Amino acid sequence: MSSGIHVLCVDDDPDIRSVTTASLERASDELSVATAATGRDALSRLRDEEPIDCIVSDYEMPGLDGLELLEAVRERDPELPFILFTGRGSESIASEAISAGVTDYLQKGTGGDQYTVLANRIENAVAKRRADRARRESERELERYRTLVESVDDPMYVLDHLGRCTVANDAFCTLLDVDREAVVGEHITEFISRSSFERGIKTVRNLYVNDEESDRFEVTVETDGGDRWIGEANVTVLTDDDGEFAGSTAVIRDITERKRRERELAEYERIIELVPTALFVLDAEGTITWCNDEFADAFAEDVAELQGTAFPALVERGYYADRVMEKYAEEVRRLLSSSTDLERAKYRVRFRSPDGEELIHDVHTRLLPLEDGEFAGTIHAIRDITRRRRYQNELERQNERLEGFASVVSHDLRNPLNVAQGSLELHAEDCPAADDDSIEQVRSSLGRMDELIENLLSLARHGRTVGDPEPVDLERLVREAWNAVETADAVLDCRVDRTIVADGGRLRALFENLFRNAIEHGGSDVTVTVEWLEDDTDTDVSSPVFYVADDGSGLETAPRELFEFGHTSAEDGTGFGLAIVQQIVEAHGWTVTASEGRDGGARFEFEGVTIFDDEPARD
């Protein structure tokens, strides 16, 4: 029972008003009684909005009688408890009072018990009104709450004290891909993982015990289709009027993408820890804010000592030349410039190790994300290419010596051959009666010797490795190679419009040999296709691969024997063409495989090709 019931006693007899007031307040400590002598006085008190919980009125009064007062009260407040307490009792008055909407009817008596009964009826009437008002307010509040729940775009649900779902909005049902009827009344563990439920119980318990408003926990929702959706539930505890636990409500935000990024970040951090590349970060002032062990290994200082060190200090300690800072500033300006769309800078610097050895470092630099549009620093990846540069220099010297050797051999072999060919032609002119077959046989043998010398020189010049590869427009090079070969009526279908990193001259020789081989074995009207394997819709590849295929007669020998020196199936073949192809492929670090083509001819696939996606590094 709520305390403080304000009663208005309306009676024209002052003695009755006095007795009624005293008796009611004596009968119940909850009652506080005010009085009015007339009906109009009572209405005036109502208009003044005095706190009145119940009216107790006589029937016979001057001006407005009890029923007329009831009618006027009902116009202002249809639910205000109104008890007719009269000395004139009759069935007609009682019936008329009930029809007018009186709350209760009680006839005045002579004993004191009547006031106890009256007090009890007042309390019951007020309690009922308050309960009805609370119920309606609760229903309105619930309706407002339901409206709020439905208006939330994020999935939202309400649970009772047992964990059963009492309210679920459309977003939550859509997430689960079920109808609302399949959610309401079911335990929440039907829709979220058991571990999520246990985290939720712990969170709700802490909120209730510590009297806190809300908290979050991670929840995994299992949809009807078997999918898993990760969310962050913002949960609030619900209590009843007595403060007892009544359930909880939660709004769930999708964090699936955030969790995926967190996993990727963790993977990247792990990769950075394991990658055998020196990495370090400079802030906007040029101070090392982070570096890995691979970077620190080149210095006398360890990671902790390097972090927080201004990069110019490393120049002062002799690790780098003064020009390094100028180079760094130049590359940063290029990356920041609006006139370029570069994402990274590539350049080389010289590094002097603690033991005095001079090394060459290949540096890749990228900008850190800008902060409020301002430069925030750079991240760097370093590779020691000292050995590679030394090897390249030695290779260039070897190639120069080999080229000189090839020139000498070419001169010493070709001179006698040219003499023999010239003598043969003079003999043919001087002796027209000579055996034409014999002369033609000698001419053919000399031509074959010329071809053998050319192939041997090609093998000698190509070597086993390449020097500095450069960007090569593959499609243009393929067409140049095609135009350099006697193709007769053959057709080229070329679809390789990308730039790769290769030795252009040697790659052209590769294609020329393949084209000659295709025409030699496939006929003068053969069609040769050059295409990326990834553009072949029937094949799934993970790295760049291009192939050369023809629609000729196919392979006439086992694929593994094709690339052997001297192997040929043609009567006038030298057996060097595909051997040269194999050597050029190996020099580039690629692999080549031969197989039957889908159109019946031969197919050669080249794997390990590097696609050019940036400008080459600069010293």
- pLDDT range class, residue 407, cuts 50, 70, 90: low
Tell whether 522 and 427 lie within a shared domain.
no
pLDDT of residue 618: 43
Q: For residue 147, how many other CB atoms are within 10 A of its CB?
A: 9
pLDDT (average), residues 585-599 = 86
Among 40-44, 259-263, 338-342, 432-436, the range scoring the smallest mean pLDDT is 432-436
pLDDT of 254 above 50: yes
451 pLDDT band (50/70/90 cuts)? Answer: low
pLDDT tops 80 at residue 498: yes
Q: What is the DSSP string of 122-137?
A: HHHHHHHHHHHHHHHH
Say what the pTM is. Answer: 0.35
Lowest mean per-residue pLDDT among 83-92, 108-117, 408-417: 408-417
Residues 475 and 600 in one domain: yes
Q: Which pLDDT score is estimated for 149?
A: 64
Confirm whether 345 is domain-assigned: yes
DSSP states along 62-76: SSS-HHHHHHHHHHH
Q: Which of 90-99, 192-201, 403-412, 473-482 holds the top average pLDDT?
A: 473-482
Let me know whether 109 and 23 are in one domain.
yes
Q: List phi, psi (to 5°) of 334.
A: -65, -40
Our CA dihedral for 195, 201, 202, 205, rounded to 10 degrees, sits at 180
pLDDT at 146: 66
Q: Count the Cβ atoms, other than its own, within 10 Å of residue 87.
A: 13
What mean pLDDT is predicted for residues 211-217?
89
Q: Which of 64-78, 99-113, 270-284, 416-430 has maximum average pLDDT?
A: 64-78
Q: In the listed set 367, 384, 401, which residue is the last one of a domain according to the structure? A: 384
Of 384, 399, 418, the domain-final residue: 384
pLDDT for residue 258: 82
The last residue of one of the domains, among 104, 135, 166, is: 135
Look over the chain and give the mean of its residue pLDDT values, rounded to a whole number: 83
Q: Is the pLDDT of residue 228 over 70?
A: yes
**Are residues 397 and 380 part of one domain?**
no
CB neighbour class for 430 (10 Å; exposed up to 12, middle 13-18, buried from 19): exposed
Please check whether residues 368 and 407 belong to one and the same domain.
no
CATH value at residue 546: 3.30.565.10
**pLDDT in the model for residue 273:** 67
pLDDT band, residue 465 (cuts 50/70/90):
low
DSSP, res 617: P
Answer whether residue 53 shows pLDDT above 90.
yes
What is the predicted pLDDT for the residue at 287?
95
In a domain, 617, yes or no: no
In a domain, 267, yes or no: no
Residues 603, 597 contacting (CB under 8 angstroms): yes
Q: Is the pLDDT of residue 202 over 90?
A: yes
Report phi then psi at 393, rounded to 5. -65, -45
List the beta bridge partners of residue 307.
Answer: none
The enclosing domain of 321 has a CATH number of 3.30.450.20
CA distance 526 to 549: 10
The angle subtended at Cα 292 by Cα 289 and Cα 295, nearest 5°, is 100
Q: Are residues 478 and 456 in the same domain?
A: no
In a domain, 160, yes or no: yes
Cβ of 459: how many Cβ atoms within 10 Å?
16
Nearest residue to 8 (alpha-carbon basis) of 38, 127, 29, 27: 38
Which residue shows structure tokens 């009492």?
166
Query: Which residue did the predictor score with more confidence, 514 or 460?
Result: 514
Q: Please tell me which of 29-38, 81-90, 517-526 the model is most confident about, judged by mean pLDDT.
A: 29-38
What is the pLDDT at residue 441?
72
Residue 312 CA, distance from chain mean position: 38
pLDDT value of position 540: 52
**pLDDT digit string, tens, across residues 158-174:** 898 899 998 888 888 88
* The token pair that represents 177 in the structure block: 């891909």
pLDDT in tens, 96-118: 888 888 999 888 877 778 899 99
Residue 461 — pLDDT band, cuts 50, 70, 90?
low
Highest mean pLDDT among 266-275, 338-347, 571-580: 338-347
CA distance 230 to 253: 9
Greater confidence (533 vs 478) lies with: 478
**Across residues 363-383, what is the average pLDDT?**
90
Q: Are residues 458 and 492 in the same domain?
A: no
Q: Is residue 377 over pLDDT 90?
A: yes
- Across 495-511, average pLDDT: 89
* pLDDT confidence bin for 298, thresholds 50/70/90: very high
Q: Please indicate, yes or no, whether residues 187 and 285 belong to a single structural domain of this protein.
A: no
Band of the pLDDT at 284, cuts 50, 70, 90? very high
* Token reading at 54: 């119940």
Predicted local confidence at residue 1, as pLDDT: 39
Higher pLDDT, 196 or 567: 196
Are both 501 and 549 inside the same structural domain?
yes
Q: Is position 182 within any domain?
A: yes
Residue 358, classed as helix, strand or coil, is strand
Same domain, 369 and 492: no
User: What per-residue confidence (pLDDT) applies to 600?
Assistant: 80
| 430 and 475 fall within a common domain | no
455 lies in the same domain as 564: no
The angle subtended at Cα 383 by Cα 380 and Cα 389, nearest 5°, is: 140
HEC profile of 507-535: HHHHHHHHHHHHHHHHCCCCEEEEEEHHH
SS3 494: strand
Q: 119: domain CATH number?
A: 3.40.50.2300
Model confidence over 215-224: pLDDT tens digits? 999 988 877 6
Q: Span 46-65, mean pLDDT?
A: 89
Give the whole-angstrom CA distance, residue 489 versus residue 518.
12
Residues belonging to the chain? 619
The dihedrals phi and psi of 288, each to the nearest 5 degrees, come to -70, 115
268 class by beta-carbon count within 10 Å (0-12 exposed, 13-18 middle, 19+ buried)? exposed
Residue at 12 is within a domain:
yes
pLDDT above 90: percentage of residues in the chain: 36
Distance CA 130, CA 185 (A): 30
- Least confident among 117-131, 235-249, 438-452: 438-452
Specify if 327 maps to a domain: yes
pLDDT at 201: 92
Range of the domain at 251: 152-260
Query: Which pLDDT belongs to residue 542?
Result: 57
Q: Is residue 375 part of a domain?
A: yes
How many structural domains are present in the chain?
5
Distance between CA atoms of residues 231 and 255, nearest Å? 5
Q: pLDDT value at position 224?
A: 66
